[in-house]
Amino acid sequence: MLGVIYLMGLTSQSTGISVNREQFNFPTAGNQPVIALAGNPNTGKSTLFNALTGLRQHTGNWPGKTVLQARGSFSHDGCRYSLVDLPGAYSLLAVSVEEQVARDFICFARPDAVIVVVDATCLERNLSLVLQVMEITERVVVCVNLIDEARRKNINIDAHKLSTALGLPVVATAARSGEGLNRLLDVVARVVHGKLKPEPKRVQYPAEIETAVSLLEAKLKGVWDGELNTRWVALRLLEGDINMVEFLAGDRDKGKIVAVREVLA
Amino acid sequence: MRNCRTPLEPLVEEARKLAGGRQDAFREHIVQSIYHTAEQIAAGSVIRETGGRIDWDRKIDNILTSPVWGFPIMFGLLAVVFWITITGANYPSDLLAEGLFWVEARLTALFVAFNAPDWLHGFLVLGVYRGVAWVVSVMLPPMAIFFPLFTLLEDAGYLPRVAFNLDGLFKKAGAHGKQALTMSMGFGCNAAGIIACRIIDSHRERLVATLTNVFVPCNGRFPALIALAAIFTGGAVAASLSSLATTLAVSGLVVLGIVLTLLVSWLLSQTLLKGIPSSFTLELPPYRKPQVGRVIVRSVLDRTIFVLARAMIIAAPAGGIIWVLANITVGDASMLTLMAGWLDPLAWHMGLDGFILLAFILGLPANEIVLPVLIMSYVSGGALMELNSLADLRHLLVEGHGWTWLTALCTMLFFLCHWPCGTTLYTIRKEQNSWRWTMAAALIPTVVGIGLCMTVNYLVRGLGLV
């Protein structure tokens, strides 16, 4: 509660498509790379955040504790990074305010890397968020946290197999004791500086959807190449994601974005 | 607002055509594929060693959230936390008071040595310093014990179990089950509890939780409640039982606060905020061994010092103001006595006196200073006295100002329900973005508090119990 919480500046301007980092309350000074922490509720994101930044964002063992995003920074190998602790979300379908906040940040603030923190003791449920995040950006590092708890419960995670299956770097950590954090930072730094290029193996959908996606994607390519992942936008348009549709159609006064503004104002 | 580079409506239209009215089916397929993929990947990379391991989490949950044991254990834990706080706070509290008033004596000596004018000494030492000293010695020990204990429970994962236990009750009250969590946060600080209300998605239920959060006593009010309970309940029984009696009294007040929370939530959802409670899933996180060392350090350094600093920043000027009010005379009465006199009629009906009500009003910036303000206004009116212990305080209240146990009870009840402190009101205004709801948040508990005090007062006096 002590001044590390920053409100996200989701004002009417920032709902435009050219949303940039300043509108997510990022200082322009220094051009520090921005790293986002995403993950299901109660997977230890805030503990990891504190361990990395030395800040004291309040942690607590209950889901939904981080309602806002906290922001801090840390140094690794002589380079300074900004770190954003996103609210816990089970998915990026944007059904809750937390999910919307997380999705908008990953999508429009375009962080230089996203660390998706997953709970080693219930990997399966946590993986769906990873799969969704890597549809938006390829710069994803999976942090299999609570590995100590998993060991106690006799659950072994084969990080190598997981990494191959996802096409993403995977690091096992125990944020509470600091285990694996250095390795995590090494990997994140390599991803940020382009020395490691994850090649996510994206989810394949039924043929009917894939066909529609490729048709739509072709048309989207000319519009936001490099700004938004066109496959992801195509999928959202196809499933009629109300927020996305209204958002892209420029109808900024409707839908959930209003709700976010109301909550975070 | 920058415009998009190309009109997007055609694309949205195109997508609608491609999906051919089957957008919901598409969405379902997409979600299914994601979950299916996650399942496959997990199956390939997770090895569970099967062994004769016992699932302790489940076993503990079966007890902590059982219909039979859930509530008794919950209230038992609450009582244990208070008991440790009350018993543990006594000794350091006396020690601190002694030390701080020793410093006061030295300060006075210093002022005398420099031939400082009386008003300066009065304002700075008897006003500002004494105000701060009281806040420190009364508040610091219980806070330094309560905060870490509460954080330990939170860290271990007990709070979601509380929410689980209370879910049914909140639902019956037409409120959201997560309100149990925001209520629990309110025990620490109501302003923090109000911010925590963001975890409730529905606007109606978030408002219910916001408007009723103040019914659980925050850390700014606990020390005062504990002090009053110790004097009037603890003092009434044998010394060996006094901690226990105080604990029961404070726990009883907290339970009353929870009952009022539920009752007012129910009333609100029947009237101003009509609606049905929305359902939600609450994950019961695994129990985790709390990081005891870190919890203690962090909760002492962050929360305790933070709250204390806030209290002192407010107590210092308030102490000065009280001293000024007590020493500016209009006619032959001080401003303070005059103001208390105006409030006397209403206060009398509530079983209080004008000074008590005035202290609550002057304590608007922070509840922490209500009791110190009251003491200062009692003390500054007559002969100055040093209050080194709770026994002195009892003497001041009972002999000096005619308190009975009814006065203490009504004061405690009004502590439980009156307007939220300035910080909380400011937070509500910011969160709800509405002056109307902020006013409601101030009025509702105040009306409840006045009603409650009056009822108790008339009942007790009518029955001739005092």
Whether B380 is in a domain gets the answer yes
Residue B153: predicted pLDDT: 84
Residue written as token pair 């598409």: B26
Q: Which helix (H) or strand (E) holds A142?
A: strand A140-145
pTM for this entry:
0.68
Query: Chain A residue with minimal CA distance to B192?
Result: A1
Q: Which helix (H) or strand (E) holds A172?
A: strand A170-172
Are the beta carbons of B213 and B187 closer than 8 angstroms?
A: no
Which of A198-212, B78-92, B198-212 shows the lowest mean pLDDT across its residues? B78-92
Please check the confidence at residue B433 and state whether its pLDDT lies above 60. yes
Residue B72 in contact with partner chain A when CB distance is under 8 A = no
Residue B253: predicted pLDDT: 93
Whether B150 is in a domain gets the answer yes
Of the residues B41, B207, B291, B302, the best mutation for testing chain A's interface (the one with the most A CB atoms within 10 Å of its CB) is: B41
Q: Which residue among B9, B285, B306 places its CB closest to the CB of A2?
A: B306
Q: Any long-range contacts for A101-104 (C-beta under 8 Å, 24+ apart)? A: A101/A8, A101/A68, A101/A69, A101/A260, A101/A264, A102/A38, A103/A136, A104/A10, A104/A260
Distance of alpha carbon B233 from alpha carbon B249, whole angstroms: 7
Distance of alpha carbon B215 from alpha carbon B268, whole angstroms: 14
Task: Name the residue with higher pLDDT: B122 or A253.
Answer: B122
In this prediction, residues B18-46 reach a mean pLDDT of 86
pLDDT in tens, B200-220: 878 888 999 999 999 999 878
Return the SS3 of A88. Answer: coil
Indicate the pLDDT class of residue B97, thresholds 50, 70 and 90: confident
How far off is chain A from B223, nearest CA to CA, in Å? 22
Residue A253: predicted pLDDT: 41
Residue B331 Rama label (left phi>0; alpha psi -120 to 50; beta): left
Distance of alpha carbon A63 from alpha carbon A96, whole angstroms: 13
Q: Which residue among A13, A156, A248 places its CB closest to the CB of B8?
A: A248
Distance of alpha carbon A94 from alpha carbon A90, whole angstroms: 10
Distance of alpha carbon B97 from alpha carbon A110, whole angstroms: 55
Q: Which residue among A12, A97, A121 places its CB closest to the CB of B286?
A: A121
Contact at CB, B47 and A155, closer than 8 angstroms = yes
Residues in chain A closer than 8 A to B204 (CB atoms): none
Residues in chain B closer than 8 A to A153 (CB atoms): 53
Which of A168-177, B139-148, B185-194 shows the lowest mean pLDDT across its residues? B139-148
Distance of alpha carbon A245 from alpha carbon A237, whole angstroms: 6
Contact at CB, B37 and A155, closer than 8 angstroms = no
Beta bridge partners of B105: none
Indicate the pLDDT class of residue A206, thresholds 50, 70 and 90: very high
Task: Name the residue with higher pLDDT: B461 or B27.
Answer: B461
Are the beta carbons of A139 and A191 closer than 8 angstroms?
A: yes
Task: Name the residue with higher pLDDT: A223 or B36.
Answer: B36
Are the beta carbons of B246 and B226 closer than 8 angstroms?
A: yes
Structural domain containing residue B229: 64-276+291-462
How far off is chain B from A57, nearest CA to CA, in Å? 10
Of the residues A40, A42, A56, A62, the best mutation for testing chain B's interface (the one with the most B CB atoms within 10 Å of its CB) is: A62
Please check the confidence at residue B197 and state whether its pLDDT lies above 60. yes
Are the beta carbons of A247 and A18 closer than 8 angstroms?
A: no
Residue A1: predicted pLDDT: 24
Whether B48 is in a domain gets the answer no
pLDDT in tens, B260-300: 999 999 999 888 888 777 766 666 777 877 777 877 777 77
Q: Which residue among A155, A223, A234 places its CB closest to the CB of B46?
A: A155
* Total number of domains constituting chain B: 1
Which of A39-48, A193-202, B97-106, B389-398 shows the lowest mean pLDDT across its residues? B389-398
Distance of alpha carbon A199 from alpha carbon A201, whole angstroms: 6
Distance of alpha carbon A262 from alpha carbon A100, whole angstroms: 13
Residue B279: predicted pLDDT: 67
Q: Where are the alpha helices (H) located in chain A, listed in sequence order?
A: 45-53, 97-104, 123-136, 147-152, 159-166, 181-192, 207-224, 230-238, 242-248, 256-264
Provide, rounded to the nearest whole percent, the portion of chain B with pLDDT above 90.
Answer: 23
Residue B278 in contact with partner chain A when CB distance is under 8 A = no
Residue B59 in contact with partner chain A when CB distance is under 8 A = no
Are the beta carbons of B419 and B425 closer than 8 angstroms?
A: yes
Contact at CB, A96 and B285, closer than 8 angstroms = no
Beta bridge partners of A170: A142
Closest CA to B450 of B348, B342, B372, B378: B348
**Other Cβ atoms within 10 Å of B324 Cβ, number:** 17
How far off is chain B from A60, nearest CA to CA, in Å? 5
Distance of alpha carbon B227 from alpha carbon B393, whole angstroms: 9
Whether B21 is in a domain gets the answer no
ipTM topping 0.95: no
What rounded mean pLDDT belongs to chain A?
77
Contact at CB, A216 and B51, closer than 8 angstroms = no
Q: How does DSSP classify residue A226? A: T
Q: What is the dihedral of CA B219, B225, B227, B228, to 10 degrees?
A: 170
pLDDT in tens, A2-44: 222 223 333 333 333 334 454 454 544 457 899 999 998 888 8
**Other Cβ atoms within 10 Å of A231 Cβ, number:** 17
- Secondary structure (H, E, C), chain B: CCCCCCCCHHHHHHHHHHHCCCHHHHHHHHHHHHHHHHHHHHHHHEEECCCCCCCHHHHHHHHHCCCCCHHHHHHHHHHHHHHHHHHHHHHHHHHHHHHHHHHHHHHHHHHHHCCCCHHHHHHHHHHHHHHHHHHHHHHHHHHHHHHHHHHHHHHHCCHHHHHHHHHHHHHHCCCCCCHHHHHHHHHHCHHHHHHHHHHCCCHHHHHHHHHHHHHCCCCCCHHHHHHHHHHHCHHHCCHHHHHHHHHHHHHHHHHHHHHHHHHHHHHHHHCCCCCCCCCCCCCCCCCCCCCHHHHHHHHHHHHHHHHHHHHHHHHHHHHHHHHHHHHCEECCEEHHHHHHHHHHHHHHHCCCCHHHHHHHHHCCCCHHHHHHHHHHHHHHHCCCCCCCCHHHHHHHHHHHHCCCHHHHHHHHHHHHCCCCCHHHHHHHHHHHCCHHHHHHHHHHHHHHHHHHHHHHHHHHHHCCCC
CB pairs under 8 A between A and B: 187
In this prediction, residues B2-17 reach a mean pLDDT of 64
Residue B317: predicted pLDDT: 79
Are the beta carbons of A127 and A201 closer than 8 angstroms?
A: no
Residue A15: predicted pLDDT: 35
**Other Cβ atoms within 10 Å of A207 Cβ, number:** 8
Beta bridge partners of A74: A81
What rounded mean pLDDT belongs to chain B?
83
- Copy the structure tokens of residue B462: 């009518």
For strand A79-85 and strand A70-76, is the pairing parallel, antiparallel, or unpaired?
A: antiparallel
Residue A11: predicted pLDDT: 32
Residues in chain B closer than 8 A to A2 (CB atoms): 302, 306
Residue A254: predicted pLDDT: 40
Beta bridge partners of A73: A82
Distance of alpha carbon B20 from alpha carbon A122, whole angstroms: 37
In this prediction, residues B389-409 reach a mean pLDDT of 84
In this prediction, residues A201-223 reach a mean pLDDT of 87
Sheet arrangement for strand A79-85? A70-76, A79-85, A34-39, A113-119, A140-145, A170-172
Residue B53: predicted pLDDT: 60
Indicate the pLDDT class of residue A185, thresholds 50, 70 and 90: very high
Residue B389: predicted pLDDT: 66
**Other Cβ atoms within 10 Å of B114 Cβ, number:** 9
Please check the confidence at residue A252 and state whether its pLDDT lies above 50. no
In this prediction, residues B187-203 reach a mean pLDDT of 82
Q: Does domain A13-192 have CATH number 3.30.360.10?
A: no
Task: Name the residue with higher pLDDT: B66 or A10.
Answer: B66
Torsions phi, psi for A140 (to 5 deg): -120, 135
Residue B198 in contact with partner chain A when CB distance is under 8 A = yes
Distance of alpha carbon A122 from alpha carbon A43, whole angstroms: 10
Task: Name the residue with higher pLDDT: A241 or B73.
Answer: B73
Residue A47: predicted pLDDT: 87
Please check the confidence at residue A59 and state whether its pLDDT lies above 60. no
Contact at CB, A165 and B44, closer than 8 angstroms = yes
pLDDT in tens, A67-111: 556 788 899 988 999 898 888 888 887 667 778 778 888 888 889
Distance of CA A239 to the CA centre of its chain: 21
Whether B355 is in a domain gets the answer yes
Whether B19 is in a domain gets the answer no
> How many Cα atoms sit within 13 Å of B164 on the Cβ side?
22
Domain boundaries, chain A: 13-192, 207-264
Task: Name the residue with higher pLDDT: B309 or B218.
Answer: B218
Q: Give the sign of the dihedral formed by CA B127, CA B383, CA B350, CA B173.
A: positive
Residue B388: predicted pLDDT: 60
Residues in chain A closer than 8 A to B196 (CB atoms): 67
Indicate the pLDDT class of residue B333, thresholds 50, 70 and 90: confident
